[in-house]
Structure 1
Amino acid sequence: MRFIHAADIHLDSPLRGLGSYDDMPVDTLRSATRAAFTRLVEEAIALEVDFVVIAGDLYDGDWKDHNTGIYFARQMGRLRNAGIPVYVLHGNHDAESVMTRRLTLPDTVHVFRAGKPTTFVLSQLKVALHGQSFSHAAVTDNLAAGYPDPLPGHFNIGVLHTALEGYAEHAHYAPCTLEQLHARGYQYWALGHVHEYCVFPGTVPVVFPGNLQGRHIREQGARGAVLVTVQDGVVESIERLEVDVLRWHRLQVDLNGCDAWSSVVSRIRSGLEALLAAQAHDRPCVLRISLEGETALHGELVGRAAPLRAEVQAVMAALAGERLWLEKVQVGTRAPQRADGPAADADDLAVMLAEAAADPTWHASLRDGLQPMFDRAPYELGRQAPVLDAVRNGDFEALLSDAAASVLRRLERAGKEA
């Protein structure tokens, strides 16, 4: 017997904050959760599995329209035609209280009830699946404690959406301990909610397959489901099925000792080449590049954010075409230690101005503070000093970037004179 265990699919999960990056493959990212699920269905059909288990958060919340449900129904129809039933449990993101839209699904799709545990028995396979869906988003009761006793003579699978004790970074839903699950008497626990892949040690496999597709930089690396093979009532193997269509990575680049812009670009290029060599797959990658170390170019790196991003994009395009995409260049470098003086003060000021240029909260407070002056200034004055019109319209980013660049030029001249 073989089955697929998946969870946290988050179909049509909305993208946040990516629209501001013109070079990001937004359309690819927007369709990634569907593309990954389509690949999962194709794997299930090709492997001729006996059934599929989805352990919560199939959806990311109520649908924007019915297209999400229609897409899912179509994929379930493909599995039905292949003779593969599906067992779905709803978690915090697709709880009964969250979902208001529903569509009729094929009769081979079975949903665990929310009011109390449900048991589905597959008589021919001698399998019993036990599970309970969430009735509302924030379930804080230990649902596993109410699951039924194992069905004798059957391979018992517990399906549960839970944070499991010890995962503090995830919302503490349906809490329980590993010991409680082991003691339940089941032969396999199909968990969901935690987005990282994990198989816990013990005589009974307790498994988080992780989410199907990474959606942002906090979900890095390979993503997918698991293929479970059972022989004579015992789990023989648990294999990862990597069905994600793109991946997120953080690349750390050490700029320690760099004293020229060309050196910075060279080290970034070397880091990208090493990353590409280490990736055996041909999936596109979205990168966050973190620059670290002590360098005399710290102030320049902060103050010249736009040219730096463009330089990195050019290197990525030359090395990998559309296989690499840039999410962000994060400057975490530091200036070399030196005695206090005018040059050091100017360097600090350049960094502060550059950071302020990208801070919308600071823009708002600056505008509010200057508004009384604008109210008293004659309209004609704006025509004579365009900078006033720019500030009046809230265009601080360009002005502050210019100020940072000016400080950097003064700093450079001061360094040469010294």
Structure 2
Amino acid sequence: MKFIHAADIHLDSPLSGLTAYPNAPVDLLRTATRRAFSRLVDEAIEEAVSFVIIAGDLYDGAWKDFNTGIFFCGEMGRLHRAGIPLYLLHGNHDAESEMTKKLLLPDNVQVFGSRQATTFHLEDLGVALHGHSFRTASITENLAAGYPDPIAGVLNIGVLHTALEGNAAHANYAPCSMSDLAARDYDYWALGHVHEYAILRENPWVVFPGNLQGRHVRECGPRGAVMVTADEGGVRRVERLLVDVLRWEVVEVDASMARTMDEVVRAVGEALEDVLDNHEGYPIALRIRLTGQTPAHGELFGRETQLRAEVLAQAAAVGEDRLWIEKIRVETTSPFAGERLRARADAVADLAVLLDSAPNDSELLEAMAKELRILVDRAPPELRQLMPELDSIRSGELENLIREVTPGLVAHIMTNS
């Protein structure tokens, strides 16, 4: 027997971080979660699985219109014609209280109740599925403690949407511990809510499949579900099932050996080729981090537009329409600024001293904020979207911005003086 365990599909949730840029794959960004879900259904039909489990957050929240629900019903129709049931648990994003629109689902879709734990006993397969959907978005009690005892002589599967213990990056909904899960004496725990794939334990099996499709740069790498193989003796194998259609990556490029901006750009081009080799066939959205102590640091400062154009040209040259640049972060440092500054006694050295003290000078900060706010208020909305630093200026929070800008500004002036 095989079954698929998926979670955190967030159907029709948009991919963020690329739409503001020219030549972004708009259609792919808009439909990525749907395409990934269709690929999941393709795999279920091709492998003739016995059933599919979704452990929460099928939807990203209330539908904007009925099209999201109509799409899901269409995919369930495909499973229905193949004789495959789906067992659906609602999580925090698609909790009962969050969904303002609903459609009658096909007969092969069974939904876990939100008032108390529900058990579906699949006698022909020797399987019992136990689950408790979220009634409201912020469930803070330990739902696992209320799950029923296992049914003797069958494969018992617990379906739960939870942060579990130690997942500080995710909201602490339906909190529980590993010992709470083990105490239920089930064979497999099909978890959702944490978007990273993880097999946390094998006796019993405790598995997060991760989300189906990465939606932004914080969800990097391959994404999908898991295929579980079991027999009368229990779970035999858990394999990752990749169904994503676009991947996100953060690429660090060490620029320490580069002397000029051109050499930095060539290093980026080489890194882009490596990325393509590691994700053969997949479109990739990239954030690039330039790091290292480099003589090119001063030349990079203030030339973000030129640098981005150069990197986009590299991506176009090697990417075969598969690479999109989400953002370029310049995190390089100058290897010479300290010693060269100490050897100078001119306006550049005076400027460095002024900027070093600026974050603690309230009068100077107030004067700078007043002047800069005039420029920022005139900036077009698209520029403010591309440069979140402008929000710091508008709010008058200049201290950290000055600390970030000072080394690059001084290095740039020294490079050109």
TM class by smaller structure: 0.7 to 0.9
The alignment status of 1:289 with 2:274, answered yes or no, reads no
Taking structure 2 as the reference length, the TM-score comes to 0.85
What is aligned with 2:397?
none
What is aligned with 1:172?
172
Cα shift readout 1:168-222 (whole Å, capped 9, x = no counterpart): 1110010111111112111110000000000113411100000000000100000
Instruction: Give the distance between the partners of 2:276 and 2:373, measured in 1 at CA.
Output: 49
Q: Secondary structure at the match of 2:270?
A: helix
**8 Å CA contact 1:23, 1:326 repeated in 2:** no
Q: Secondary structure at the match of 2:120?
A: strand
Q: Secondary structure at the match of 2:324?
A: strand
The alignment status of 1:273 with 2:273, answered yes or no, reads yes
Output the amino acid matched with 1:124.
D
Deviation (angstroms), 1:97: 0.7
Cα shift readout 1:326-379 (whole Å, capped 9, x = no counterpart): 101111111124332448559969x99xxxxxxxxx9x9546865xxxxxxxxx
User: Structure 2 regions of 5+ residues with no counterpart?
Assistant: 357-365, 391-405
Q: Secondary structure at the match of 2:301?
A: helix
The alignment status of 1:393 with 2:387, answered yes or no, reads no
Q: Secondary structure at the match of 1:52?
A: strand
Instruction: Give the distance between the partners of 1:130 and 1:200, measured in 2 at CA.
Output: 19
Indicate the percent of aligned positions where both proteins have the same amino acid.
54
**8 Å CA contact 1:284, 1:324 repeated in 2:** yes
Change (3 A) 1:346 1:73: farther
Change (3 A) 1:225 1:311: same
Change (3 A) 1:66 1:407: same
Deviation (angstroms), 1:25: 1.7
Q: Secondary structure at the match of 2:290?
A: strand
**8 Å CA contact 2:117, 2:147 repeated in 1:** yes
Instruction: Give the distance between the partners of 2:98 and 2:333, measured in 1 at CA.
Output: 46
What is aligned with 2:14?
14
**8 Å CA contact 2:220, 2:249 repeated in 1:** yes
Deviation (angstroms), 1:408: 8.4
Q: Secondary structure at the match of 2:136?
A: coil
Change (3 A) 1:394 1:243: closer
Taking structure 1 as the reference length, the TM-score comes to 0.85
What is aligned with 1:45?
45
**8 Å CA contact 1:346, 1:411 repeated in 2:** no
For residues 233-382 of structure 1, what are the structure 2 equivalents within 5 Å?
A: 233-279=233-279, 281-337=280-336, 338-339=338-339, 340=341, 341=344, 342=346, 345=349, 365-366=369-370
Instruction: Give the distance between the partners of 1:207 and 1:22, measured in 2 at CA.
Output: 39
Output the amino acid matched with 1:331.
V
**8 Å CA contact 2:14, 2:29 repeated in 1:** no
User: Structure 1 regions of 5+ residues with no counterpart?
Assistant: 353-361, 371-389
What is aligned with 1:230?
230
What is aligned with 1:89?
89
Q: Secondary structure at the match of 2:262?
A: helix
Q: Secondary structure at the match of 1:316?
A: helix
The number of residue pairs the alignment matches comes to: 381
Change (3 A) 1:145 1:407: closer
For residues 48-127 of structure 1, what are the structure 2 equivalents within 5 Å?
A: 48-127=48-127
Instruction: Give the distance between the partners of 1:22 and 1:91, measured in 2 at CA.
Output: 36
**8 Å CA contact 2:295, 2:335 repeated in 1:** yes
**8 Å CA contact 2:122, 2:128 repeated in 1:** yes
Deviation (angstroms), 1:302: 2.8
Deviation (angstroms), 1:26: 2.8
Change (3 A) 1:343 1:267: farther
Change (3 A) 1:217 1:343: farther
Deviation (angstroms), 1:274: 2.1
